[in-house]
Structure 1
Amino acid sequence: MSKRSCRSCPAASVLQWKPGSEEWRYHVVNPVELQDSAAILEESPICVIFANANRIRECALCRQSFIKLFRMPEVWWSDHCRNSNGYIGSEVTRDQSSVTGFNTWAYYEMKHLDKKMDYRWDKINMFIRWVASPRRTIAIFFDTHPPIEDSIRQVLLGPDLPWLNDPFWIYARLAGEIARLQGSAVWAIRDHVRGIETETIPAGRPQPNYRRLHDIARHAIHVSESLDVTSKTMEGIIAQHQDFLSQRFSTEKIDLDSSENIGRQLLSWRHMISSLRHRSASNKDRLQNEIQLSFNIAAQHDTAISVDIGRAAQADSSAMKTIAFFTMAFLPATFLSSVFSTSFFSYSVDSGAWNVSDKFWIYWAFAIPTTFVAFVAWFFWHRIFPIAQVN
């Protein structure tokens, strides 16, 4: 056993499969001790490892153990790959002039939304080491949720032996699982959209839950994004598979029929992902249609209320016009009666004549300035205390 040890990184699960076996052989190994357990990896044509990349990435000892044993590129451990939403890469490994193997790596993300509007991100982050001689596949999966880990075990168990001569056989096997997970994410969004479409419109003023509609739209955008990236990733896998088959070193022991079938399966699942992309785009369009409908119904109801208010205001305006008319009709007579009732005018019954006081100018001397002061006070009052505008 190695004298090195790492107590901070969780142990890695190592699964082995041998032809004729119907189950995996299971081991638990500390990541830094994988180099000393290389014999375990060489005992069978397929080894599957489940490890924690987030912890290993921070541990130089364990990270170097993976890089040295599996010929992993340094860039794979960078933050830029860590923060990516999907990728595909490959490289040929050589020892002096001979080919020792073929490495590929890919990353997928799937977002699942449940009925209670809770969500989770499922990820498949894998690095595949294919050893040229003897033909052996080592598949490493990082930070995989237990349900997906169980599915991977089932999907990769018991492949056809000729398939093992092609390093892309794992991608053909996993493509169905990825399509299933993406389909589940798309249909979860569709169920929420369908629930909105079938809701009955309540009586009275509509009360759309725009916050919920916005959240569903946000999740739908994420699902479409992950589907777009998955489709591009699968196109990259197909292109790299074709490039691999064109290499001279790979045609010596490869079963071309099996490799062609692998290529056909990859094409088939790529088409399935493309179909899911259209379904996801339809979900977004339907959701936007419902958001617009909810807004229009609420606006229509508010418009009807505004019309009723306008009609009431029109009726009030008619009444005020009537009042103003009668006010204007009686105002001159009221003014004249007020003036002639003052002591500036007197009527003699005996002579039947009107007498006007020579002090009548006093009335105008006070009336005109007072009226002017009232108008000026009104003007400055509205300048200092303006009426608030209603938005």
Structure 2
Amino acid sequence: MISDRHNMALRRKMTVLQPSSKGREWEMSTPDFDPESINLPRQCYVFLDRENYPDIGVRRDRALEYFKVPVFVGTKTCFDLNGFFGSQVTYDETSPQNRMIGLTTWFRVLIKMVRKVDSKHHDNLPEYVVDEKKGYRWFETTVFTRWDYPDKHQVLIVDTPLDFPDQLICLLHKASASEKINFYDPLAMHTSLIDQIIVYSDISVWRIRDPVRQMERSRMRTGAIFSEVHEMSRHAIHSSEVLEATIDTLKDLQRCRTMVHDSFPSRAPSTVAEVSAAKDVTTTTHLTQTYKHQASQYAQFQISLLKNLKLRADSNRERLKNEINTAFNNLTMQDNSVLKSIALLTMVFLPATFFSSLFSTTFFSYGDDGEWQVSGKMWIYWVTTLPATILIVILWRVWLGNSDAIITGWKQAKKWALEEQGWKRLWRKHGKENQQMIKEEGATEMNHVTGRHTGTF
């Protein structure tokens, strides 16, 4: 009984995608996964949940050994990284052309999904965050691939979103229908896989962007915004970081693709000499120059997509910084309003306090019989206090609204008054104007007199 339970623990469910017998369709199945004796189809994608992947130890090492992956890749050190890429090539040393007979690759990309906000027209995909407390989920997708000459392809993918196999099989149907999958290419099954990873990276970036946009529109309570903005900033920083690592991973994959494709001939042997050199024309594979260039160009397109997603992730970070700055400014304005209110209350009660001190306590007293007595001159207090309070409040409002203009005018007047010859120049100018007016009046009078005398002659 214990042995049966142990065997059940070793055998875990996996999702397998493999080509159908027709060649242009893909089938999905969910057999058991036994790391002790792995038996996979010749061409397949194998999906394992994080819980179903063997723990660090002998069973994980055996699973990686099947894919010819170095043991160190299965250690905690590598599985704590946010990305890596590695490859290992095997050649036929007995072949005159030193033909490639095996290629193993392993790489890791991280995707951080946050809980999506209210239903959006551009986000009708499933909710990938199950944990209500955390509000986010890391998918630490690790991929191991094995290619054996001439067309054996097996890909193991660990820790992906639940609908990854369904989404990938749709891409594979389209690629198979257009004859885009060439199993003679050691990296042929990477293309659709990377496409789907880019899709999830795009979803991840948008699900961080949507809450940011919600914050910008609502301008939440200033005091409550900091915790939420801090949380979203952390997600945005992680998103930028893992996208940068994914871009580097794809660049390494592209360099590997160039190296692999360069080792394949661009055409099949045709002459007798070439056939003799190749030993067996039926098993000699080749990749056309067009296929190589198109594969390389499409890989560059995928890298370009991720670079643009990285720019969007960086934009999310900057927008969150702006929200934080806006919140700080709002808090400052609120503090200023509070200080103004305190100043106003102080000014309202200041005249009353002053006049109370001035008049001391003569308006109120206790009589000989212990009764409270109020002076008949109490009206003097109100007559002096209320106008003074109103006057101070009015002066405060005038000063608050025109303080800059008042200060500027005062500085200009002070500067003008302190000039050494300011008043003298004003007096001299005024005197010269008077003298000029007197001269002009005298000349006018003389002209009139001269005119009269001239008219007499």
Q: Give the TM-score, by structure 2 length.
A: 0.61
Q: Which residue of 1 aligns with 2:187?
A: 168
* One of 296, 309, 314 as aligned partner of 1:263: 296
Q: In terms of mean alpha carbon deviation, does 110-119 or 91-100 score higher?
A: 91-100
Structure 1 residue 153, shift from structure 2 partner: 2.9
Give the partner amino acid of 2:89: V
Q: Which residue of 2 aligns with 1:382?
A: none
- Aligned pairs for 1:1-391 within 5 A: 6-9=7-10, 10-17=12-19, 18=21, 20-24=23-27, 26=29, 28-32=31-35, 34-35=37-38, 37=39, 41-42=41-42, 46-52=43-49, 56-58=53-55, 60=57, 62-94=59-91, 99-113=100-114, 114-115=116-117, 118-131=135-148, 133-157=149-173, 159=176, 160=179, 163-199=182-218, 207-247=223-263, 253-324=286-357
CA distance 1:297–1:123, change in 2 (3 Å): same
> Number of paired residues?
316
The DSSP-based 3-state class of the residue aligned with 1:150 is: helix
Gapped regions of structure 1 (runs ≥ 5): 331-391
The Cα shift of 1:79 comes to 0.6
Could you give the per-residue CA deviations for residues 87-123 of structure 1, whole angstroms, max 9, x where no partner exists?
Answer: 1111113566564301111211111222278222234
> Residue 160 of structure 2 aligns to which amino acid in structure 1?
T
Q: Is the 8 A contact 2:14 2:31 kept in 1?
A: yes
State the Cα distance separating 1:83 from its structure 2 match.
1.1
Residues 1:123 and 1:250: Cα distance change in structure 2 (over 3 Å): farther
Q: 2 CA distance for matches of 1:298 and 1:27?
A: 57
Deviates more, 1:291-300 or 1:89-98: 89-98
Question: CA-to-partner distance for each residue in 1:15-43, whole Å, 9 max, x for gaps?
Answer: 431552423263624423545x3xx534x
Is the Cα–Cα contact under 8 Å of residues 168 and 193 in structure 2 kept in the other structure?
yes
Q: What SS does structure 2 have at the residue aligned with 1:186?
A: helix
C-alpha deviation, 1:258, in angstroms = 1.6
TM-score w.r.t. length of structure 1: 0.71
Aligned mates of 2:248, 2:266 — CA distance in 1: 25
Deviation at 1:268, TM superposition (A): 0.8
Contact 1:16/1:48 (CA < 8 Å) preserved in 2? yes
Gaps of 5+ in 2: 119-131, 268-284, 363-457
Letter in 2 for 1:255: T
Q: CA deviation at 1:78?
A: 0.8
- 1:103-146 deviation digits (Å, cap 9, x = unpaired): 11121111122227822223432111111x22221111123332
SS at match of 1:303: helix
Structure-2 separation of matches of 1:254 and 1:134? 12
SS of structure 2 residue aligned to 1:164? coil
1:77, distance to aligned residue in structure 2 (A): 0.7
SS in 2 for 1:165: coil
2:56/2:75 contact within 8 Å kept: no
Secondary structure of 1:112 counterpart? strand
Three-state SS of the structure 1 residue aligned to 2:35 is helix
Query: What do residues 39-84 of structure 1 show as CA deviations (whole Å, max 9, x unaligned)?
Result: x534xxx222223566554375533442443212111211111111
How far off its partner does 1:320 sit?
4.1
Percent pairwise identity: 23
Question: CA separation in 1, counterparts of 2:265 and 2:214?
Answer: 56
- Distance in 2 (alpha carbons) for counterparts of 1:123 and 1:317: 67
CA separation in 1, counterparts of 2:238 and 2:299?
A: 24
- Give the partner amino acid of 1:102: L
Query: d(CA) in 2 for partners of 1:282 and 1:190?
Result: 9
| Native 8 Å contact 2:84 2:109 kept in 1 | yes
The residue type equivalent to 2:139 in the other structure is: D
8 Å Cα contact 1:67/1:73 also seen in 2: yes
Q: C-alpha displacement at 1:224, in angstroms?
A: 1.7
